[in-house]
Structure 1
Amino acid sequence: MARKPNILILMADQMAAPFLPFYADSPVLVPNLARLAEEGVLFTSAYSNSPLCGPARFTMQAGQLPSRIGAYDNACELPAATPCMAHYLRYSGYRTILAGKMHFVGPDQLHGFEERLTTDIYPADFGWTPDWSDFEHRPSWYHSMDSVLTAGPTVRTNQLDFDEEAVFATRRKLYDIARDNDERPFFLTLSLTHPHDPYACPETYWNRYDGIEIPMPKVSIPIDRTDPHSRRLRHVCGVDLDEVTQDQVRAARRAYFGSISYVDDQFGSVLQTLSETGLRDDTIVLVCGDHGDMLGERGLWYKMNFFEGAARIPLIVHAPKRYAPRRVDASVSLVDLLPTLLEFGGVDVEPAVPLDGRSLVPHLESGTGHDEVIGEYMGEGALAPVVMIRRGPWKFVHCPIDPDQLFNLSDDPDELNNVACEPSCAGLVAELRNEVMNRWDFEAITADVLASQRRRRLVALANATGVLSPWDFQPRRDAAQEYVRAHMDLEDLEAMARFPRVRS
């Protein structure tokens, strides 16, 4: 029987596909990612199913849309009984390993991962639960414009501390895998927090863009002409509370580009380790993001909407000995990754729940496959579910309390012309509205979101009273078993730790 391939996922947080040079004209410097895109299968129309960190990642892990698993916002619990990609792969013989951010909330901080090398950068409790019933109150813990107003070079940030730990732990684990006697294939996910705001990067990355013209936002929409959801996002992020200068916008974009270059270097170091250990030829490398960043387009920042800047993500599958390099233009999404990994790993167990995604292997093998993305958003800035259907050239966005939006992205890539009210599109809009009504019970979802928020706010307040018992993951470490200890045979230890092995 052929050995199952290793699988390495390299994930970046809030890295928008439209700013990467292999997707569009861009000055962003990413030689490692560009090489993977050239040698691998590049998906040019990949999307987040829910443009917010937690829901996007839970959808990816479970292969199910947010409304099916209650993944409404960044303080939602992913239930421990939800089968995830690591459960399936571990059950079928993989060693499953996670390093970096995954935004798991609740007491289960593993969700099938046998090893977790780092804690998470964000809280595992319910403290960040939004409140649809008190929309006017802006939560203190959510995005503000401070990141834009203070953008620029820096010596150190919380995110640099976190990502460097995650990269170090990942590289060390790859060396351990090469040296140990565990013959199982590995499934390893490294998830970095960059280029997520704050828009700050080390000076060395800031300086990489010296003399390079930083492109400014192309689309500016007057506030009175913006759609209602965009206006709500402007409120929840405090976009209009401070005057933002063009220099600050330029600095935020330059720092964001520098942070993408930082991610590229970190991924490059991991890929180098993969080569040094002799594991690269047997490893499928998958690069993805969780969602994008508007970065000032349409006067919006961060994510939380289905415009291209926020919803489109990079997606690359690099396995040149298995899949010939190609570009795939069909629309696919994060929910498709779980069934894809099941096919990569030859998992012969039937999925324990209905999956909303479809395998990308047909795209990888022949360039043909499904062309559809279903999206849901129920996080900050929403007052009712916002849903999206992306199929062929069309993107349809519906919310029960807002006017519909329909864009032909082939003719209108900047989404300037909402044709939902055009007589020539009346038939298509009627079909899409009918599909939306058949797919979603908006009253039931809204009721469940509100009930979930009430429950979690109460539990959060209760758990914060008295003695705190945190859910945050505590990485396991036993110093008595590390490096050189008296109970170990020194010669055997040094021989085992050396790579490549030296024959005596």
Structure 2
Amino acid sequence: MSFNVIKRTLLAMCIVSQTACSAVDNTAQATGPLQKDKQPNVLVLMFDDMRFDTFSYRGGPVNTPNIDALAAESVRFDNAMTTTGLCSPSRAAFYTGRWGHKTGLDDNVELYHTRLAELDLKEGGLIRRASDAGYFVGHVGKWHLGARGTELRGAEFDEGQGHEPRERFSRVYTPYSKVSQVEGYYQGKLDKGNEKHEYYKTLDGTYEDTEAYKKVVLGKAMLKKMAKDQRPFFGVVSFNQPHPAYRVPEPYASMYDPATLELPANHLAKRVNKPLAQGGIWWPWHDVGHMSDLDWRKSRAHYYGAIAMVDRIVGELLQTAKEEGIYDDLRIVLWGDQGSMLGEHGLYDKGPYAYDELMRMPLLIRDPNITPKIVKRQVSMLDVTPTLAEWMALKPDGDVDGHTLTPLMKKGDQAEAGQPDTALYAYEWYNGSWFGIRAIRTPEFKFVWNLGDNRDEFYDLANDPLELNNLIKHKGYEKQRKEMVTLLKAELARVDDPSLKMLTYHAKAYLDPQQKQSAH
């Protein structure tokens, strides 16, 4: 029986027995494995739609001294990949350590016109597992996996949820107002401050007036409470920032001059020989035909300002941990659930594609017992879950689709020398629309299988890192395509992906170049 079950039982007995009440306070002290000197304290800092390439520690355009300082104390995974470029599926993968075809969570929840309302409560994930192991579990901020999901899984400190409702199985949010707002932009109508608030917005007030700061305050309160508790703790502070639309107050809104921003070569690049769905309007703000060059620049400038604000957020939370005396041995994970498009390939936000700007994510892992280093091998978000489970000695709760990162953290890239350096990515649904995308990435190449289209993608990342040229039909890459398809088949087989059966048929022309493909 877990500590929390014992505690709840004893609390129920308090009305008839003062001895039982005393036992509640003494149980944790009597249970050796639950003491802080036995089990590590863990803090996860999670951000929404945060790209991998913006921080100053990566040579990016935004000065991020607090994140840089954490990076200097951490193992940097500079080639970390999300599972899905969409909020709910990526978060479900993180908490459970499993792909969506196993958990049933492969689309956003609670947004039009999704078929899903929540992650099945049978999928307790890290929160339930840590709670059952006797950890003090806290969660602040965005969850996006169903109403009251953290509370129902055992989080004792459960505050500051994101946009999700607090009532289970509520009607989905439908963006009627956003449709008319974007239509107005085509008519020359602008929002307050002559801005386009579905893309960029200067918020009234200051940093202390933002929704993000409210979560900072709650995060600090959680850390202070955890510092006083005798149990080890597992805490998550999850922010909506810097998710589009990019909305920040001053001074962040004016921190970067739109006119002087350096734009990548794939900015507004025409999509040639690309899948049809990439140009779809899957959310009203995907309609970007009204965007001027200055609009795009302002959106990017506001995103950079949001990252500067994120850096302040990180600094304040870690400073609180230091002031409370829990920082020195604290294990920390900082990550973003996926990237975001800032105009690359003419795209905004996220959608059914596998471009690096969306597929890659930032990942820092601090273990004070491990020497900081940079790992260049590709790792998956799914690898973070078993790493955390290993730290906290959590009991297994099902399939493990990733692998612990501890060997890479201790020995660096050489820990997996000679093994295939691959990353698997999927994009099954977007708010009720099905695409069935699977992608396999190596440092040199990327193959994207678009099951919901008849045009696949193949990129030579070494020579075309911006993924401008789809080489799926190029005869000079037949061998490489065959190798990538073989790697994809192996990964789909490893994780029991049901799409493997269809790939077996679709891949014949790639595996046997003498056969003609029926499409493309």
Q: Match of 2:46?
A: 11
Change (3 A) 1:161 1:121: farther
Structure 2 counterparts to residues 97-496 of structure 1, below 5 A: 97-105=138-146, 108-110=149-151, 111-123=153-165, 125=169, 127-128=171-172, 149-150=196-197, 151-155=200-204, 161-178=210-227, 180=228, 182-209=229-256, 213-219=260-266, 220-223=268-271, 225-232=273-280, 234=281, 236-237=283-284, 239-240=286-287, 242-304=289-351, 305-319=353-367, 321-347=368-394, 349=395, 351-367=396-412, 368-369=415-416, 371-380=421-430, 382-400=433-451, 401-433=453-485, 436=488, 439=492, 440-442=497-499
Paired residue secondary structure (2:239): strand
d(CA) in 2 for partners of 1:307, 1:258: 23
Q: Spell out, residue by residue over 1:327-346, the C-alpha distance to the aligned partner (whole angstroms, 9 max, x if none).
A: 11111121111101011123
Is 1:88 aligned to 2:129, yes or no? yes
Query: By how many angstroms is 1:95 displaced?
Result: 1.1
Query: By how many angstroms is 1:443 displaced?
Result: 9.7
Paired residue secondary structure (2:404): coil
Query: By how many angstroms is 1:251 displaced?
Result: 0.8
Contact preservation (8 Å) 1:217, 1:296: no
One-letter amino acid matched to 1:323: I
One-letter amino acid matched to 1:67: H
Contact preservation (8 Å) 1:53, 1:290: yes
Q: Which has the higher relative contact order, 1 or 2, with Cα contacts under 8 A spaced 6 or more apart?
A: 1
Q: Spell out, residue by residue over 1:276-301, the C-alpha distance to the aligned partner (whole angstroms, 9 max, x if none).
A: 01100121111000011111111001
Change (3 A) 1:277 1:236: closer
Query: By how many angstroms is 1:221 displaced?
Result: 2.6
Change (3 A) 1:217 1:174: same
d(CA) in 1 for partners of 2:209, 2:271: 35
Paired residue secondary structure (1:167): helix
The range that moved more, 275-284 or 194-203, is 194-203
For structure 2, list consecutive stretches of 5 or more residues without a partner in the other structure: 1-32, 110-115, 186-190, 503-520
Q: Spell out, residue by residue over 1:249-273, the C-alpha distance to the aligned partner (whole angstroms, 9 max, x if none).
A: 1111111111111111011100000
d(CA) in 2 for partners of 1:95, 1:141: 40
d(CA) in 1 for partners of 2:235, 2:361: 20
The range that moved more, 109-118 or 138-147, is 138-147
Q: Match of 2:90?
A: 56
One-letter amino acid matched to 2:158: R
Paired residue secondary structure (2:435): coil
Contact preservation (8 Å) 1:217, 1:295: no
- Pick one of 97, 100, 103 that aligns with 1:66: 100
Paired residue secondary structure (1:122): coil
One-letter amino acid matched to 1:62: T
Q: Spell out, residue by residue over 1:106-141, the C-alpha distance to the aligned partner (whole angstroms, 9 max, x if none).
A: 5644334233122332346464489xxxxxxx9777
Q: Spell out, residue by residue over 1:300-343, the C-alpha distance to the aligned partner (whole angstroms, 9 max, x if none).
A: 01122311111111100123x31211111111121111101011
Q: TM-score, normalised by structure 1?
A: 0.78
Change (3 A) 1:46 1:160: farther
d(CA) in 1 for partners of 2:392, 2:473: 46
Q: Match of 2:112?
A: none
Contact preservation (8 Å) 1:228, 1:402: no
Change (3 A) 1:376 1:129: farther
Q: Match of 1:468?
A: none
Q: Spell out, residue by residue over 1:61-105, the C-alpha distance to the aligned partner (whole angstroms, 9 max, x if none).
A: 000011221212211321000130122222223111100001021
Paired residue secondary structure (2:464): coil
Query: By how many angstroms is 1:42 displaced?
Result: 0.8
One-letter amino acid matched to 2:211: F
d(CA) in 1 for partners of 2:39, 2:146: 31
Q: TM-score, normalised by structure 2?
A: 0.76
d(CA) in 1 for partners of 2:179, 2:81: 23
Q: Match of 1:47?
A: 81
Change (3 A) 1:302 1:379: same
d(CA) in 2 for partners of 1:414, 1:213: 21
Change (3 A) 1:17 1:345: same
Contact preservation (8 Å) 1:144, 1:239: no
Contact preservation (8 Å) 1:419, 1:425: yes
One-letter amino acid matched to 1:82: E
Q: Spell out, residue by residue over 1:374-412, the C-alpha distance to the aligned partner (whole angstroms, 9 max, x if none).
A: 211123285431111123433221112232212232332
Change (3 A) 1:212 1:273: farther
d(CA) in 2 for partners of 1:328, 1:71: 30
- Pick one of 47, 61, 68 that aligns with 1:27: 61
Q: Spell out, residue by residue over 1:195-223, the C-alpha distance to the aligned partner (whole angstroms, 9 max, x if none).
A: 11122211111233359932234213325
Paired residue secondary structure (2:430): coil
Paired residue secondary structure (2:369): coil
Contact preservation (8 Å) 2:42, 2:234: yes
d(CA) in 1 for partners of 2:331, 2:216: 18
Change (3 A) 1:139 1:395: farther
d(CA) in 1 for partners of 2:181, 2:447: 28
One-letter amino acid matched to 1:378: E
The range that moved more, 162-171 or 237-246, is 237-246
The range that moved more, 198-207 or 290-299, is 198-207
Contact preservation (8 Å) 1:229, 1:402: no
Contact preservation (8 Å) 1:27, 1:212: no
d(CA) in 2 for partners of 1:50, 1:140: 27
d(CA) in 2 for partners of 1:293, 1:61: 21
RMSD: 3.1
